[in-house]
Chains A and B, each alone.
Chain A
């Protein structure tokens, strides 16, 4: 039986806890802004005064980057990979195995809390201002907004499952350097977070479309700027749902092995 109330307390606690670590909030926002500046400048320079490229107007492209940076703020506000690894190494996660709840779910719900706090106090005010003062395109139909939010949420779940699964690899490996860097590379490039997939060389675009990472940034972004519409959106949401389920199974698989290892070898 899923005890929603129990997990909901983790969400509430994490929300309040975030208020204590205000420095974290400001600092994350600061680096988010620097990266926004970087990618904004890069795309401005790449377009170099052109009105459109690859069938996408400059305004839409800039919107894509801003939304992408917003989503990366959202995705970055949860428990980061290195913290999961740290918790594995210090044995915090092993200890939680003794508690009467499901550990991956517990972290997911805690992340909901800290992410909500970050969105409400930092991201939303900042990006609202940005949308008012910059020349960006906003979806005109309210349905698009809903679809964007749904898609972004599924993207968040995909990212969470994959990141957690990678973090839990620390149970099996002393040093995960190379593997973690592959993860970060996939997260930034193959997800389309900084370069939309339509600018990829054909073969790479095809490859990226067969991977789960596009569900994290590319699909919600494309919905937002109207690059995909109608049934295409529904199809994309279906793809996202598929990857959410697949990455959840991956997380379960890694977690089962990890917890078995704790039980047998004591972590």
Chain B
């Protein structure tokens, strides 16, 4: 099948997914409310924290909000595109995964196109609101170059976090578990990166820069945009964010395909 045909198919599949989701209108609204509530909760926590202390590792409240908003924005896209990957184990356990394997299209593509969670609309409202507020407070000068860089690093962030979701789902091919890995590893790790990495022990910083490159999701790009220092790391390392995203996602895709191959030889 040609790439163009795949694009066409992708839009048809996701629009079906969106229509399916919109059948449950109340649930849809509640989810948006829920997402906004929980992000506001984190922001309020940050505010209280800095109410007494003013600074966290040389980051002020508004700078931290900015850092957080970058993460929320790319995570919002990630929820839309990849969040359902974490549930691959359920598909395998109840046998519905085989459905993706009896059809004449790429199973990764098919699985990815199966859901398109538009409820993360709430995240966009939240993060864009924060961007406007913070830009005003910190008097950020949004040049075209900076806006473009923000856009690119959001893409990088989507690929990095999406890649990790893909890797987590691939674990189901070996261990028949994936959802749990998300809650054990990725959920806490995401929380970790809501705060500037500089406050963590060096080993953790190094790990989040070069092993699971969460640092490139928000910390490094935000440091570039806010002109903040990133101790222990080269200046402007944030510019590599899109590249890191592409490489990491490619690795993730490879691991997923490897897992699929294993699934096809063990059937579980």
Contacts and interface: CB of A to CB of B under 8 A. Distances in A.
Interface of B: 24, 26-28, 30-31, 33-35, 37-38, 41, 44-45, 48-49, 51-53, 55-57, 177, 180-181, 183-185, 187-189, 191-192, 195, 198-201, 204
Contacts of B30: 173, 175-179
Given A27-B180, A28-B184, A174-B27, A34 B199 contact: no
Contact of A41 (B28, B35, B189, B199): B199
A34 B192 contact: yes
A53 B53 contact: yes
Nearest to B175: A23
A173 B24 CA distance: 12
Contacts of A185: 37-38, 41, 44
Given A41-B200, A48-B55, A185-B38, A34 B49 contact: no
Given A189-B45, A200-B48, 6 more contacts: A23-B177, A34-B191, A175-B27, A178-B33, A194-B45, A201-B48
A253 interface: no
Contacts of B201: 37, 41
A38 B192 contact: yes
A184 interface: yes
B52 A54 contact: yes
A177 B41 contact: no
Contacts of A238: none
A204 B200 CA distance: 29
Main secondary structure of the interface of A (DSSP, over half): helix
A143 interface: no
A91 interface: no
B199 A181 contact: no
Contacts of B51: 199-201
B41 A38 contact: no
A177 B27 contact: yes
A200 B24 CA distance: 39
Nearest to B52: A199
Nearest to A29: B184
Nearest to B54: A46
A34 B44 contact: no
Contacts of A24: 180
Given A174-B24, A178-B30, A30 B185 contact: yes
Interface in A170-192: 173-182, 184-185, 188-189
Contacts of B198: 45
